[in-house]
Amino acid sequence: MKVTTYIQFNEVNVVSEDLAKVVKEELKNKGIKMVSVTTLDLYYKPEETKVYYVAKTKEDEELTGSVAV
């Protein structure tokens, strides 16, 4: 069974899986390899149309940032 979660706010629809894709692409652009990431926490703020993230790596490094969606 495939489950898709939609977030709706002010007539804008965002698919939760798309948020993860955007953040992963951002991390790749910063030179971070996805195999080194152990956890990725996402915080979507629809009123800002931004997703904030906290990623932890195998080296115990914490990466934070935000991406407009």
pLDDT of residue 64: 97
| pLDDT tens-digit series, residues 14-58 | 999 999 999 999 999 999 999 999 999 999 999 999 999 999 999
Q: How far is CA 19 from CA 1, 25, 59, 65, in A?
A: 21, 10, 24, 13
pLDDT band at residue 66 using 50, 70 and 90 as cut-offs: very high
Find residue 62's DSSP bridge partners. 56
Sign (positive or negative) of CA dihedral 55, 52, 5, 24: negative
pLDDT of residue 41: 97
pLDDT of residue 48: 93
Residue of 46, 34, 44 whose CA lies nearest to 66 = 44
pLDDT of residue 44: 96
Residue spans per domain, the chain: 6-68
